Structure 1
Amino acid sequence: MDLGPLLEALYGRRVEHCVESVGSTIGRGRGDASSRSYARVRIRDAGVAPQTSVVMQLPNDPLRSDEGGGRERTRELAFVNVQRCMKARGVPVPDVLLDASRSHGKVLLQDLGDTTLEKRLGSIPAGGWAPEYDAAVDLLAELHDRMAQPDPACVAYGRHFDRALLRWELDHYREWGLEARLGITLASELRTRLDGAFDRLVDRLASLPMGFVHRDYQSRNLMIHDGALWVIDFQDALMGPRIYDLVALLCDSYVDVAPALREREIERYAARRGLERGAVAAELHLVALHRKLKDSGRFVFIDRVKKNPDFLPHVPQSLEYVRRALRLATDVGDLREALAEAAPGDFGSVV
């Protein structure tokens, strides 16, 4: 990885440096589920700052989203565009030190260290997680308040979780989370019933109050740096159900958030944003159905198509969140019955 010209542009002169792989830092080495990769750059010259940075190596088509749904390419790297807006509004995000996305397919970023919220949670008993989640929910409420006013220069406000995208993600689950994972083909009658249940779920989701959505506000995308939480991986931000990010946090496929802790944080978020707690809970259970079905299918897709099996161990937790939501959401009996028939091993217990 030749970084000499980029570092010279950043520091104004040639500097001695080395490149190190990173684990669970801002880039998580392999780019997690994305096609980006990351490494830490360490400067050997003592007289320059910063001494470290993170280089984000972009794929061959860096302006296309890693998420599905057929979104068009943007004219500017979405990460850089959304970062600029979030930083201007006081959201704690890493600085972009040098944007060479067009010239070199790379971006140099502020190094936030190696401690994600997920890593922090793994170091303490689950009974002691409440302060960590309190902080994450407080930051989320602040983020949503700060990002509430649309900015026409920010791509996030021109992208929407519309019916087409909501439905595509459920089809993604059916294709990969049901048929590919279980090795089945749904009978036409069952497929029709499942499609109808999906359509009704999408109708309800599309009618929910909308707002700015980070899209992946979960434990792997929250860094602990200088004693505070910072937000990363925001390049797919868009307008969507206002409660979507709370679902990503409290129904996190990488962490088993206990129901009691979830209820505590629902109440906290509602209070911080001046919302009615019952409405927040009802929206959360409905959105959780969609998000966790999508995740369970997406993880299989990443294994089969992107040849990355690292996410398969998180399918069971995703399905557990679906089961919890099926028990708590209202008026989803048709979906509950269709899923139980299609995948009795996954959902037979909730009928």
Structure 2
Amino acid sequence: MIDFLQATGWGDARRESLAGDASTRRYTRLHRDGQTAILMQDPDGDVGLFTRLARHLTGQNLSAPRILAQDTANGLLLIEDLGDGLLARLAQTPQSEQDLYLLATDALIALHDTPPPPDLPQATPDRMASMVDLAFEHYTHAPEALAQAVAAFVPQLQTHAQPTDVMVLRDYHAENILYLPDRQGAARAGLLDFQDAMQGHRAYDLVSLIEDARRDVAPATARACVAHYLAATDLPEDAFHAALAVLGAQRNLRILGVFARLASSRGKPQYIDLIPRVWGHLQTDLAHPVLASVKPIIDAALPAPDAAHLERLKAACPTP
């Protein structure tokens, strides 16, 4: 890492560690002569893919970080510093929340107006259904119910989550989006997390935005975002709401398992505290009529996150 920074001219920069995310990536802000840049360390990831996707997004006049230097072999990137204006920090009033979330929706509208980059993994119904496995392995242990849930999800995804014709960023929420007031239009939304992108259905990132695992989004804001997206794209309203429900349920089931696994395998019990909100989103999604065949399986297999179950999940966290 030292050699990389020296080669890029940032070897003597002052370093400021930044808060990370649920992954093993680490971020450091570098200060040098009144300028800043971000060092991203991702030894377990694919920084070459991050670079390719970032350049695709900037090529569509969206605000991903510019790539300043890279060392693919060692998982190192030097990227543009887009600042600290996270939507999660700025959305402090009902009006500011709605304004910022509509901006984030504008970025999705712009993203979906262009073809996805080539060679993205396809969010096929089989693949998406199988990704709920973590809920049945880590949130609870119910392998027989997993097979039933996957079998029930596949036809709903085939019916309601097609076509898969846009780039979906997959972790599109207020702690991964920055407000850039000096830019114009959809470029005012800074995009930070997209290395797990797939080619999928256009409802996926929108439901990720409005069913946030980390913060409560006002129902009025969520409705405004959906209405704004529909007005801009002229999609059938009922079909789009069905897609939101099916993909929301799939996503929230996966998040339940991801958060439980982060506690048990990575010693991060703080994610357990977010589970009740995720559970609430899941129940809202399962109430949609198109999920009538899925809901009984989930209800029977997954315990509600009461205090006792949350404590059991935290107890699985390894002690230092």
Say yes or no: TM over 0.5: yes
1:319 — aligned with what?
279
Q: 1:163 to 1:277 in 2, by over 3 A?
A: closer
Q: 1:150 to 1:323 in 2, by over 3 A?
A: closer
1:182 — aligned with what?
none
2:314 — aligned with what?
none
Q: Return the match for 2:4 from 3, 6, 10.
A: 6
State the shift of 1:127 in Å: 5.8
Letter in 1 for 2:41: Q
| Maintained 8 Å contact 1:78/1:236 | no
Q: 1:118 to 1:55 in 2, by over 3 A?
A: same
Q: How does 1:200-239 map to 2 (within 5 A)?
A: 200-207=152-159, 208-210=162-164, 211-227=166-182, 228-239=188-199
Distance between the aligned counterparts of 1:112 and 1:234, measured in 2?
Answer: 15
2:89 — aligned with what?
119
- 3-state DSSP of counterpart to 2:175: helix
Distance between the aligned counterparts of 1:244 and 1:77, measured in 2?
Answer: 24
Distance between the aligned counterparts of 1:256 and 1:333, measured in 2?
Answer: 26
| Maintained 8 Å contact 1:300/1:312 | yes
| Maintained 8 Å contact 1:177/1:293 | no
TM-score under structure 1 normalisation?
Answer: 0.78
State the shift of 1:109 in Å: 0.7
Letter in 2 for 1:209: P
**Identity in percent:** 28
- 3-state DSSP of counterpart to 2:212: coil
Q: 1:345 to 1:96 in 2, by over 3 A?
A: same
| Maintained 8 Å contact 2:263/2:272 | yes
Does residue 279 (structure 1) correspond to residue 268 (structure 2)? The answer is no
TM-score under structure 2 normalisation?
Answer: 0.85
Q: Return the match for 2:45 from 62, 70, 73.
A: 62
Letter in 1 for 2:17: S
Distance between the aligned counterparts of 2:7 and 2:61, measured in 1?
Answer: 27
Q: 1:331 to 1:206 in 2, by over 3 A?
A: closer
State the shift of 1:346 in Å: 5.1
- 3-state DSSP of counterpart to 1:39: strand
- 3-state DSSP of counterpart to 1:21: strand
Structure 2 residues not aligned, in runs of 5+: 183-187, 307-320
| Maintained 8 Å contact 2:262/2:268 | yes
1:170 — aligned with what?
132
Does residue 21 (structure 1) correspond to residue 17 (structure 2)? The answer is yes
State the shift of 1:275 in Å: 1.2
2:250 — aligned with what?
290
Distance between the aligned counterparts of 2:116 and 2:221, measured in 1?
Answer: 32
| Maintained 8 Å contact 1:266/1:277 | no
Letter in 2 for 1:246: L
Distance between the aligned counterparts of 2:151 and 2:264, measured in 1?
Answer: 27
Does residue 141 (structure 1) correspond to residue 124 (structure 2)? The answer is no
1:71 — aligned with what?
none
State the shift of 1:311 in Å: 1.9
Distance between the aligned counterparts of 1:324 and 1:239, measured in 2?
Answer: 25
- 3-state DSSP of counterpart to 1:261: helix
State the shift of 1:165 in Å: 2.6
- 3-state DSSP of counterpart to 1:129: helix
Q: 1:246 to 1:83 in 2, by over 3 A?
A: same
Distance between the aligned counterparts of 1:16 and 1:172, measured in 2?
Answer: 43
Structure 1 residues not aligned, in runs of 5+: 23-28, 64-75, 180-185
Letter in 2 for 1:100: D
Does residue 342 (structure 1) correspond to residue 301 (structure 2)? The answer is yes
State the shift of 1:218 in Å: 0.9
Letter in 1 for 2:25: R
Measured on the aligned residues, the alpha-carbon RMSD in Å equals 2.3
Distance between the aligned counterparts of 1:320 and 1:108, measured in 2?
Answer: 39
| Maintained 8 Å contact 1:56/1:107 | yes
Does residue 38 (structure 1) correspond to residue 27 (structure 2)? The answer is yes
